[in-house]
Amino acid sequence: QVQLVESGGGLVQAGGSLRLSCVASGRTFNSFAMGWFRQAPGSEREFVAAVIWRTGTTRYGDSAKGRFTISADNAKNTVYLQMNSLKPEDTAVYYCASVRSASNIRVPNEYNYWGQGTRVTVSS
């Protein structure tokens, strides 16, 4: 089992920044990659970004490119999502997730473990 705890969400004005953190514990050696997803009310869960632990390789969803940066601190078993130039449409609950295998890291159903989520609200 892998436990994931997100933090760093909150209320921010449009154009502002937030940094989300996700701390992993438990059988973290089984984790191949970590991803951030978000879900707004009435919407499907959307891929934001992912990072592969061993190589640091990153992938981004279209909404995150150029504004968000994902990074991993292997020593702390922590993944970060730096979000800049936030827009009201970024308002959502943000989840981090862990996947065991080299699957399609953009697909939510591929992930094995999920955190409880942290809410981000961007006001206009």
All residue ranges of the chain with pLDDT < 70 are none
Would you state the pLDDT for residue 75?
93
Would you state the pLDDT for residue 17?
98
Would you state the pLDDT for residue 111?
95
Phi and psi at residue 108, in whole multiples of 5°?
-55, -40
Residues 6+ apart with CB under 8 A from 73: 79, 80
Lookup: tokens for 87: 């827009």
Would you state the pLDDT for residue 60?
98
Lookup: tokens for 21: 């953190």
Would you state the pLDDT for residue 27?
82
Cα–Cα dist 80/60, whole Å: 13
